[in-house]
Structure 1
Amino acid sequence: MLPNIMSGFGSSGVTWERRSEKVSEIVAREIVRDIAKRRPAPNSVLESESAMIKRYQVARGSLREALRILEVHGLIRMKPGPGGGPVLSEVDSRDFGRMATLFFQVLDIRFSELVEARLMLEPFIARLAAERHDPDDNEELRAIVQQGFEARSTDPWLQATDAFHTKVLSMSGNGLLTLIACALKDIFTERASTVYIANEGDHVRETHARIAEAVINGDAETAERLMREHLQEYADTVAEREPNLMNEVVDWR
């Protein structure tokens, strides 16, 4: 028996096939492909519903289901009222991490496993940052470290700490590794952010400064070692202060 095939045209005019999977899923993929090709700015309103129906040659119900798929995954949000419609979100690693936690929960992934993965991945990326980073990023990294020294209340301190790790990871020159590692960091931080408070973080501040200088100076071995020691110390502190957390399943949030 022949598979169920429906033909249509993407924005490129190239024929694509819709086989046994739902039309809405294929349309969602086509929309993503067009977004990646055109690169509209975040918060841009995409085409109207009528224009999309014409472009993707689908029924209104299938298009709305496709948009709902993208909304659930955090790529778009729906703006109501006149002039509304699908709006492109400013997606980041938190959206990726939020989606990943759905699978973590179903697969019974424990927080201790997430910590172990971060301990393996982030020091290696710190090494890459030292080896590959753009020198134009050096002053921004130093400025973030300085923000940490100046932060004496909890919220600014947590923001500076998060910014430090995000910046080092972004300097690796590998976008995929950066996305995955930042997502693990985001999940970790959301669940264990109260372990260190601002008034006891001087050792962390000094460690961040040393890691930053190793990255800036291209000392890959030192950057990797210091980051591993830093994260291990943090993981040990979490295990000591919140022992039950380490055995919890990383649930979908």
Structure 2
Amino acid sequence: MLQRFQIARGSLREALRILEVHGLIRMKPGPGGGPVVSEVSSRDFGRMATLFFQVLDIRFTELVEARLILEPLTARLAAERHDPEDDDDLRAVVRRGFDAGDTAEWLRADDAFHTKVLSMSGNGMLTLFTHGLKDIFTERSSTVYVAHEGDHVRRAHAEIADAIIDGDAEEAERLMREHMSEYVRAVAEREPYLMDEVVDWR
């Protein structure tokens, strides 16, 4: 790389360090090691975005407002751009949620559902940004659905999936907005202090 880009060793080292901090590469140690391209992660994107959010004094209530706009929009796009080849995968994700018996598994199932809907929107920018906001919020919030609440969320997921599969964009958007609003209300009731906190860099 020094020869290819005709740069000093210090410049190359600093460039690689920046890429590593942003989660775009990882440094493989030992003989034959060096920089390895990483899989793009919304979690890394979200983490770096929090640095800007902290400087701009952005509160969690503003992050939530953005999610309430973006996630219903992605559900609408998923229905409008519905590809029948995605149907089986979407149904499988919903069933996985219904089968989840513990909190950790339920959280994975919930993340899988929202990730699938985002990917079906057909917009990579919206998918990355919206999932990044979701990662930031869920990492800071300790509120999770349990018992009968979990059953309620599973039914909501199934209804949203049905609307997407039917190509009913208006219904998919409405159901996702209702679903997200219920979750936000639950967090606000159980963790009222969180909503007024600045989204800080961690």
Identify the TM-score tier after normalising by the shorter chain: over 0.9
Helix, strand or coil at the partner of 2:67: helix
Distance in 2 separating the partners of 1:220 and 1:75: 35
The answer (yes or no) to whether the contact 2:61–2:195 under 8 Å persists in 1 is: yes
Structure-2-length-normalised TM-score: 0.97
Q: Please identify the structure whose Cα radius of gyration is greater.
A: 1
Q: Write out aligned runs for 1:1-253 (5 A).
A: 52-197=1-146, 200-253=149-202
Give the root-mean-square deviation of aligned CA atoms.
1.1
Task: Kindly provide the amino acid, as one letter, of the partner of residue 176 in structure 1.
Answer: M
- In the comparison of the two structures, how many residue pairs are matched? 202
Alpha carbons 2:26, 2:37 under 8 Å: kept = yes
Q: Which has the higher contact order (CA 8 A, sep 6+)?
A: 2
* DSSP-derived class of the 1:67 partner: helix
CA contact (8 A) 2:143 2:187 kept: no
Where in structure 1 are there 5+ consecutive unaligned residues? Answer: 1-51
Amino acid at match of 1:221: E
Residues 174 and 105 of structure 1, relative CA distance in 2, 3 Å threshold: same
Amino acid at match of 1:181: T
Residue type of the alignment partner of 1:72: V
Q: Is the 8 A contact 1:77 1:87 kept in 2?
A: yes
Answer whether contact 1:104 1:250 (CA < 8 A) is retained.
Answer: yes
Over 6 Å off, 4+ runs? none
What is the distance in 2 between the residues matched to 1:138 and 1:109?
Answer: 37
CA distance in 2, matches of 1:83, 1:194: 45
Contact (CA 8 Å) 1:75, 1:89: kept in 2 or not? yes
Mapped to 1, the partners of 2:23 and 2:147 lie a distance apart of 32
Task: Give the 3-state SS of the residue equivalent to 2:167 in structure 1.
Answer: coil
Judge conservation of contact 1:130–1:214 (CA < 8 Å) in 2.
Answer: yes
SS state at 1:78 partner: strand
Normalising by structure 1, report the TM-score. Answer: 0.78
Structure with more helix by fraction: 2
Could you say what secondary structure the match of 1:173 adopts?
coil
Q: Where in structure 2 are there 5+ consecutive unaligned residues?
A: none
The percent of aligned pairs where both chains have the same amino acid is 77
